[in-house]
A = this chain, B = another copy of it.
Amino acid sequence: MSAPDPRLSINQATIKYSNLEEALRVTAGAGIHAIGLWREPVNEVGLDVAARMLADSGLRFSTHCRGGFFTLPDGPQRRAALDDNRRAIEETATLAAAGADGSTAVLVLVAGGLPEGDRDLIGARERVRDAIGALAPDAKAAGVTLAIEPLHPMYASDRAVVSTLGQALDIASDFDAEVVGAAVDTFHIWWDPQVLEQIARAGREGRIATYQVCDWKTPLPADVLLGRHYMGDGVIDFASLTQAVVQTGYDRDIEVEIFNADIWADAPEHVVRRTAEAFTATVSPHLR
């Protein structure tokens, strides 16, 4: 196998059952240059230790996953969620500083769904905007970019009321581009009739905080959260989407984040190798 693409980053969720030590070792061991981390495995060892482990790995740090979940109305739970997001911002800054040159301080935000018993989608979306407003000064002070991630509309009720890239950009437009951007994830937005124009807009507005790739295939599994696939195994056209992102001037790491029970059950060394091969076949040709 040829060397992995130098812009490939493995999002740790792709090898979900690896702890931080294994995730770093397997990723670096495969000749990959970058990794996106999740909060739980980082906090399992503690932030300082995690930062040292990351530095020792020689890997770049591409994103921290994840903050958000702030659609609740005002009250102790919402305030606790905001405080937790502030900790996530600090983690992001610390890890980005510990990663190799070219690391980026990007915190991915998943908006959260409708609160139990609530049908006011517009109100929930407004609370997302308000929460980002509350966090923006902290992010700015820490040098962290908040990446609003639009999730596929099938998650709109129970996971993320931000459903399109255009909507994420509308929310982001209230804030400085270096503080609030959007996550462009093929799985979530490939179906959108406006996807190419919204990617171009995101580029013009300087808002592409991260580009993430994986594939869509049906039938969906019983747990629709786990319906992601290696690039090339589904129907997404990585050529047009990647070219659209490249044309904006986006030149940073590209993450692969796959939630899939079969892939999680596989050996992480094999998953990382397979991911690198899929990336080389489907994404790399469009990066020139």
Binding site for B on A (CB under 8 A): 114, 118-122, 125, 152-154, 156-158, 163-164, 166-167, 170, 190-193, 216-220, 222-224, 234-237, 240
Contacts and interface: CB of A to CB of B under 8 A. Distances in A.
14 contacts: A119-B235, A119-B236, A120-B237, A121-B190, A121-B191, A152-B154, A154-B154, A156-B191, A157-B217, A157-B235, A158-B219, A166-B193, A167-B193, A170-B193
Contacts of A120: 237
For this chain, the copies found in one complex come to: 2
Please report whether the interface of chain A is mostly helix, strand, loop or mixed according to DSSP: loop
B125 A193 contact: yes
A192 to B, nearest CB: 7
Nearest to A217: B157
B163 A193 contact: yes
Contact of A157 (B125, B153, B218): B218
Contacts of A217: 157
A220 to B, nearest CB: 6
Nearest to A114: B235
A193 B193 CA distance: 14
Contact of A191 (B153, B216, B222): B153
Given A121-B191, A193-B167, A154 B237 contact: no
A153 B114 CA distance: 19
A71 to B, nearest CB: 12
Contacts of A193: 125, 163-164, 166-167, 170
A89 to B, nearest CB: 26
